Amino acid sequence: MDLDIESGVEAPLSKRWLWPAFLALAIVWVCGGTAALGEARFPPPEFESGHALPLTATPSPRSLAMQHVDVAALVGALGLACYLVHRRRSRRGIIALSLFSLIYFGFYREGCICAIGAVQNVALALCDASYALPMTVLVFFFAPLVVALFAGRTFCAAVCPHGALQDLVLIKPVKVPAWLDHALSVVPFLFLGAGLAFAATGSAFIICRYDPFVPLFRLTGSATLLTLGGLFVLASLFIGRPYCRFLCPYGALLRLAALASKWRVRITPDFCTQCRLCEEACPYGAIREPALTSTTPPVLVPARRRLGRLLLLLPVALFVGGWVGSKLSVPFSKVHPTVALAERYADPNKPTVMPIPATPDSLALGRAERDAPQLVAAAVDIRRRFVLSGWLFGGWTVLVVFAKLIGLSVRPDRTDFEPDRGACVACARCFMACPNERVRLGLLPASAIPTRPGPGLGTGPTAAGTKRD
């Protein structure tokens, strides 16, 4: 830090420090123009008593080896979760693993390192070559995703501390109406888009900043966030996983991955007798009923038409969405501290005299003053990047909404009661609702299995609700 930086605040402040010695010193300093820091204004003494200088203590961060423990815990927990869901089919095991994850990744690691936030680090690393992405973060980003591509959302089931917390406190689930569920399930995708846009421009990690549970894990944080966390926990008592279903941006990614999963979570261990006993077992509204095999034209044709119209409309809507997004980039870019500072600096109404004592704001303005051209250039550059991410974010929003609508118009392909691949978080709750499962576990005699209805699949009462989702 050299002279001009200091002199910006020198004059007004010196009024408070009127000791002649210091004043003289300050003058020497201002005129001298030497670097202020590390400079011995008062030369370090030579001690006659041979006094030894103490060392400046530099306590180390958490040991590096612990990172490997984190990664091992993640991989181990993921593997175990897959085993418990697909092989052991054990809700009890899932509860035990959830408890472990809640304690280790939640309260011990204080919600950081976390797969949810890792998306942003990855986005930033992709857009900013100078950002060194920690290896651990990369593993936390991709391991749950790859697992979801094969085994569904087993990460959500029992590895994610956020999910575990909400899952474990759920005592009396109430059903969220289907329309509301569908509408709100779009939100995580938008949050994901916004999180990526802000992270990629290097402005903010909003997913971390507004995480409601991390302050609870840390047992400290801003009052607003702690309250928000408390509210979410309260809601989780009655609404199954409100954060996972209606907010979590990583959940959105996992949902997509799980849609393409190789093995899906199965309610019944072998075959479905369509006894409907599991129908209401899922607190997350993920169980879908079987579809008709022969759909009568009156139902199909309007749906097809709607699909066609949606597809035709899509390009126009994408463009409009992108355009609106790019227009929003100007206000949004103010989230970036550099842009915000440049704006304040360019503001004609900004205060001209330095307040005494200096405020953080005035200090920042002082800094802006000192290298204004550089600041403005940086801000312009950041805003340009915001325009691009505005286009992408706008387009993404439209795409998500359309994908939801198209998904609603597509004929379901189920022949049995099945969990929706994307929505199911593999909690294993519904397994025990199935009499086949109980027979498998020896809790019921084989004769207790209700007989499978005749070959006319979908001719039963289920037919009426086929188009429900």
Partner 1 sequence: MTPRSPGEGPVSRRNFLRNGARVAALTGVGAVVGTLVHRTSSQTTVWQIDPLKCLRCGRCATECVLDQSAVKCVHSYDLCGYCELCTGYFVPEPNALNTGAENQLCPTGAIQRKYIEDPYYEYTIDEALCIGCGKCVEGCSRFGNGSLYLQVRQHLCLNCSECAIGRVCPGDAFRRVPVSQPYLLKTSH
Closest distance of CB 164 from partner 1, Å: 20
Q: Is residue 61 a contact point for partner 1 (CB under 8 A)?
A: yes
Which of 4, 280, 347, 361 contacts partner 1 by CB under 8 A?
A: 361
Stretch that binds partner 1, among 48-56, 274-282, 387-395, 442-450 (CB under 8 A): 48-56
By the rule CB under 6 A, 286 interacts with ligand SF4: yes
- Shortest distance (Å) from residue 467 CB to partner 1: 15
What would the x/- binding string for ligand SF4 be over residues 374 to 413, using CB under 6 A? ----------------------------------------
**Number of other residues whose CB lies within 10 A of the CB of residue 74:** 22
Residues in region 13-32 near partner 1 by CB under 8 A: 13, 16-19, 22, 25-26
Site residues (CB under 8 A) for partner 1, limited to 66-85: 67
| Shortest Cβ 266–ligand SF4 spacing (Å) | 9
Instruction: Indicate whether 120 belongs to the interface with partner 1 (CB under 8 A).
Output: yes
Cα distance between residue 148 and residue 251, in whole Å: 11
- Give yes or no for residue 209 binding partner 1 (CB under 8 A): yes
Burial class (CB in 10 A: 0-12, 13-18, 19+), 357: exposed
Q: Is 368 in the site for ligand SF4 (CB under 6 A)?
A: no
Q: Which of residues 258-277 bind ligand SF4 (CB under 6 A)?
A: 265
DSSP 411: P
Reported as half-sphere exposure (CB side, CA atoms, 13 A), residue 116 has a value of 29
Please select the residue that binds partner 1; options are 31, 64, 65, 223, rule is CB under 8 A: 64
The residue from 106, 251, 390, 419 that contacts ligand SF4 (CB under 6 A) is 419
The answer to whether 164 touches 101, Cβ cutoff 8 Å, is yes
Nearest CA to 300 out of 411, 219, 168, 388 is that of: 411
Cα(192)–Cα(251) distance, rounded to whole angstroms? 9
CB atoms near residue 341 (< 10 Å): 20
Strands 418-419 and 287-288 turn out to be antiparallel
DSSP classification of residue 266: -
208 binds partner 1 (CB under 8 A): yes
Q: Give 217's contacts (C-beta < 8 A, 6+ positions apart).
A: 106, 107, 110, 111, 161
CB 418, min distance to ligand SF4, A: 8
Type and span of the H or E element at 288? strand 287-288
Taking the complex as a whole, the smallest distance from the CB of residue 91 to ligand SF4 amounts, in Å, to 9
Entry field: residues in the chain: 469
Establish if 156 lies at the interface with ligand SF4 (CB under 6 A).
no
**C-alpha count within 13 angstroms, C-beta hemisphere, residue 226:** 6
Residues that bind ligand SF4 (CB under 6 A): 265, 281-282, 284, 286-287, 419, 424-430
